[in-house]
Every structure is written in C-alpha cells, then in structure tokens.
Structure 1
C-alpha cells in the first residue's frame, strides 16, 4: 500500500474553481466608467456648454470611458473575473455614458433629438431584451454590433469637440452611419432573441 488515500488517485474530484472576487480589475474599470458619467456632464455643461476648452475636457472623460469599455469585459473573460455585479453594472455603465453624451448634445442644440431618441431606444431596448432571454442563453456581440459601438463613439466624440468646417460635415456622416448600424443591428438582435427564446422553450418541453 502506498498510504495515499483512494480519493487522491484516479477518480478524485477536480478542485472547484474559485469564484471571482467582487473588487477585481474588470469591476473597478466598470465603476470608473460609472463615476465618469457625472464628471462628464459637469465638464460638458460648464460655462454654458459652449466653451471649447471645457468641451475638450469632456471629450477626454468620454474617451477614457469608451476605452475602459473595451478592456473590462475582455479582462473579465480572459482571467475568469465574471461576477453578477459585472453582468449588471457593465451594460448600465455603457449606456449611461453614451446616454449622458447624447442628451447633453441634444440639450445644447448640437444634435437632433430624434437621433438621440433612436439610439437610446435601441440601446435600452436591447439591454432589456438580453436580460429577458438570459435564462435561455447569451446573445453574443456581433461584428455589426462592434462596428456600431465604434461608429457611435467616434461620432459622438466628434460632436463633443464642437468641430467646424469640413470636419463638421464629416461628423454628420459618421453619425449617419452610426444611426444606420444602430437600427440594423438592433433588428438583428431582436431576431436572435426570439430565435433563442423559442429554442429554449422548445428544449424545456
């Protein structure tokens, strides 16, 4: 006899994976993004909202928020840092910074309200739909969805900087592309959600 317990040999259960801690780098980045929302609004609306210097500071806050959005989800998946808090807070942080920027721009008269309405309706609606079907599965981010996020970020960022001349025309075209991608990818997510829900209900039967 080797003196080694039988459980230590073949058939021994694998150690359970340790759950991710709440305060990990991915969740910290998400919290930073949430805290940047009120800071962005204050910078954007300071001195009446038309001061180019303060608009530049607001753009910097918006850019940092968008960059952290690229990294927190990637880090969470790569290093197994996914938590229930992150699943809820991450999409809220994404929509909060984009929503704050769109509403500020429309309130200042820089962006048409219908553009803000279309984008916010799509973003909030798809987020709620993801939660609606989450028990049946997760709708993965599509290439079109990633392009939509990029177009929105670039377009809104150009509007925050209050560009003039040819660049003002360019930003209008970028925003037009963002709106088209917003609508098209939104309809595709709706289709995927119903397919996923139908498949999940069928499997349950």
Structure 2
C-alpha cells in the first residue's frame, strides 16, 4: 500500500529564530527613539548610539527573512510581523528626524504613505499570491537605510549635500517601486487565481 502523497507538511512553530529576530527589531524601536531624543538629539554619544541601534535593527531585517526561507521557518505570524517591524523602525527614524527639525516633513510623509500603502496592498492580495521583492524594492530599502544612517550620525555640515543626494535617490526609488507594486498587485488581484508567485 503506497503512502499518501499529499500529506500535510508539519506546522512550523511561531517560536523560531526568524520570528525572534523580527520581534527583537520591534522591541529595539522604542529604545532607538529614546536614544535619539536624549538632549533633544544634540548629544554626540547618544546620536552614535541611536545610529548603532538603528543599524543593528536594520541588520535583523536583512537576516530574518533569509533565515526563514533558508530553513523553512516561514510562518503567518512572520509574514505579518516582519513588515510591521520594518515600517515601525523606518517610520520612527524618519518621524524622529523630522521632529528634531533635521528632515523635511514632506520627505517623511511621502515615504510613510508609500510604506503603509504597500503594507495594505499586501493584505489585499495575500489570498491570491505573494509579490516577490524586485531589485528596485531591495535597492530602495538599502538606500533608505543608508540615507537615514547619514542623517542620524552627528556629521559636519559639509556632508549635507551627500546626505540629501542619497535621500533624494531613496525618495525616487520609494515612489517608483511603490507605483510598480500597485500595478503588480492590481494585476495579481485581477487574475483571480489564488496562487503564490515565485
């Protein structure tokens, strides 16, 4: 008698290294915010500390997804928690910098609207498939992180053109990849087939 070929794969526990990294990133957000606002953001030591926390949290964002895919640890919890933690970290940094008067509010609003919109779109099409991250999306994420790091660091004024140029590139990639994501989401939803994209 042959074994049943369509056996249900074992359920992956939500308590795994990938989800722990995601939760760690989320927990680092308030710590980062506190460090950023010490002495109204004027303390060199605390700004460096805040930057280090942001960089560490961003690193976990790059690692947890890879770990989940590499070791088969993808869970529904992770699919929801990962983008929330990602947006919380980026949003906290951008809002913090704007509150401190170091980043125009319109920059924060443009990026925040895109990120929140894409997150909502993910939920809108989740029954029909998952839109794979594009090269542009990955470039957007890395550029945003690099630009935010430059703004967080207590750098001399002569480096401002470099920081703003990188932020400008990040904004452009944010808008372009956001529009691309909308188009792909609409096409996926219009197809009506509940499948997972490669």
Matched residue, 1:58: 50
Q: Distance in 1 between matches of 2:130 and 2:58?
A: 23
Q: Distance in 1 between matches of 2:194 and 2:123?
A: 19
Shift of 1:201: 6.3
Deviations 1:99-128 (A, max 9, x none): 000000000000000000000000000010
Where structure 1 has 5 or more consecutive residues not aligned to the other structure, the ranges are 1-5
3-state SS, counterpart of residue 139 of structure 1: coil
Structure 2 CA distance for partners of 1:202 and 1:73, relative to 1, 3 Å: closer
Q: Distance in 2 between matches of 1:149 and 1:37?
A: 17
Matched residue, 2:64: 72
Superposition pairs of residues 4-83 of structure 1, within 5 angstroms: 6=1, 11-14=2-5, 16-83=8-75
Where structure 2 has 5 or more consecutive residues not aligned to the other structure, the ranges are none
3-state SS, counterpart of residue 130 of structure 2: coil
TM-score, length-normalised on structure 2? 0.94
Q: Indicate yes or no: 2:113 matched with 1:121.
A: yes
Q: Indicate yes or no: 2:155 matched with 1:163.
A: yes
Contact 2:129 2:194 in 1 (8 A): no
- CA RMSD for the aligned pairs? 1.5
Q: Indicate yes or no: 2:133 matched with 1:141.
A: yes
3-state SS, counterpart of residue 67 of structure 2: helix
Matched residue, 1:3: none
Larger radius of gyration: 1
Aligned counterpart in structure 1 of residue 142 of structure 2, from 135, 144, 150: 150
Shift of 1:166: 3.3
Structure 2 CA distance for partners of 1:202 and 1:55, relative to 1, 3 Å: closer
Shift of 1:20: 1.2
Structure 1 stretches of 4+ with a deviation exceeding 6 A read none
